[in-house]
Amino acid sequence: MRRPEILLNLSVPRLAEQAAQLPAAGVGLLRAEFLALGLGKHPLALLEEQGEEAFVTVFREGLETVARAFYPRPVTYRTLDLKSNEYRGLEGGERFEPVESNPMIGRRGAFRYIVSPDELRLELRAVAQVLDGGLDNVHLMVPFVRTVTELREVKALVEESGLFERPGFELWAMAEVPATALIPERFAAEVSGVSIGSNDLTQLVLGADRDSAELGARYRATDEAVLTAIARIVEGAHAVGVPVCICGDAPSQEAGLIHRLVELGIDQISVVPSAFEASVAAVDEAVGAGAAA
């Protein structure tokens, strides 16, 4: 039975050194959102006032901090995935963001990069500078991909940045919408790896608002329909030789889910640092049970 690697989810770079003391295989998800929120201003407002280098420096320094702490273990950096209402909450945000009735499924993720590529290009510049500085353990992940076509469009922006020319560079894509479970081979064939975002996948498969405390307690990633979607993504990606990670909150919160993920043959499970030891124990138990069966 395949034994998945256990990686870590991180949001705050200054906590990286402490997290790196854990014997994790690397960082499966480094969120960019904390860096953006730390700016206090909408990224485009910062660009107007201080120029491109101020923007690039913030993201480069945050990424460097994590990549250096974990080197040579891989660090997968997920590009910005703030929603329009979150961007509007930043200083100057109302000048750049639309008012959407449902931001959760609105102008975010890959679609945002296509219609407004300037911010992504600056993030890619930050990644390139980190790689060129010798921290070649950094990979890139695209969030909230809805269609194969938009994934290809984002790939073109990444190619334009020259990142594919760096030795060992990997581009991953998030599997968060049901479309990725319906045609998983086609999505996986475009990238180096697929990472399942269990939070959004659960809410979109079940039609349950993840931000609702009432609904969130009832509709979980262990639901049969969600597990079926996860299984399809794993099977489809493996069919084209692409590894699969899961990096949503569910594995950190539900040890029983880890047993099912091991059965499905997932390659990596990324959890918050506080759940690392429990996750390792759950994997040990699942692998042991499988070997005894």
Q: Is residue 92 assigned to a domain?
A: yes
Q: What is the chain's length? A: 293
Long-range contacts of 45-53 (CB under 8 A, 24+ apart): 45/90, 45/91, 45/92, 45/93, 45/95, 45/96, 47/118, 47/122, 48/92, 52/122, 52/125
Average pLDDT over residues 88-104: 89
Q: Supply the range of the domain harboring residue 126.
A: 5-172+247-292
Q: Is residue 34 assigned to a domain?
A: yes
Average pLDDT over residues 187-204: 97
10 Å Cβ neighbour count for 228?
12
Q: Between these two residues, 36 and 109, which has the higher pLDDT value?
A: 109
Q: Is residue 253 assigned to a domain?
A: yes
Query: Which residues sit opposite 244 in a β-bridge?
Result: 194
The alpha carbon torsion through 62, 63, 67, 68 (nearest 10 deg) reads -40
Q: Is residue 36 assigned to a domain?
A: yes
Q: What is the CATH number of the domain that holds 86?
A: 3.20.20.60
Question: Is 291's pLDDT higher than 80?
Answer: no
**168, two tokens:** 């060992």
The whole-model pTM stands at 0.94
Strand-pair category, 138-142 with 171-175: parallel
Average pLDDT over residues 261-277: 96
Average pLDDT over residues 236-241: 98
Q: Is residue 209 assigned to a domain?
A: no
Q: Is residue 40 assigned to a domain?
A: yes
Contact 200, 210 (CB under 8 A): yes
Average pLDDT over residues 90-118: 92
What is the spatial distance between Cα 254 and Cα 250, in angstroms, rounded to a whole number? 6
Question: Is 209's pLDDT higher than 80?
Answer: yes
Burial of 186 (0-12, 13-18, 19+ CB in 10 A): middle
What is the spatial distance between Cα 129 and Cα 138, in angstroms, rounded to a whole number? 11
Q: Is residue 86 assigned to a domain?
A: yes
Tens digits of per-residue pLDDT, 145-195?
999 999 999 999 999 999 999 999 999 999 999 999 999 999 999 999 999
Question: Is 28's pLDDT higher than 90?
Answer: yes
Q: Is residue 118 assigned to a domain?
A: yes
Which are the contacts of 108, defined by CB distance < 8 A and separation ≥ 6?
A: 81, 82, 83, 84, 143, 144
Min mean pLDDT across 165-179, 207-221, 232-246 is at: 207-221
How many domains, the chain?
1
**Best CA proximity match to 16, nearest among 57, 58, 75:** 75
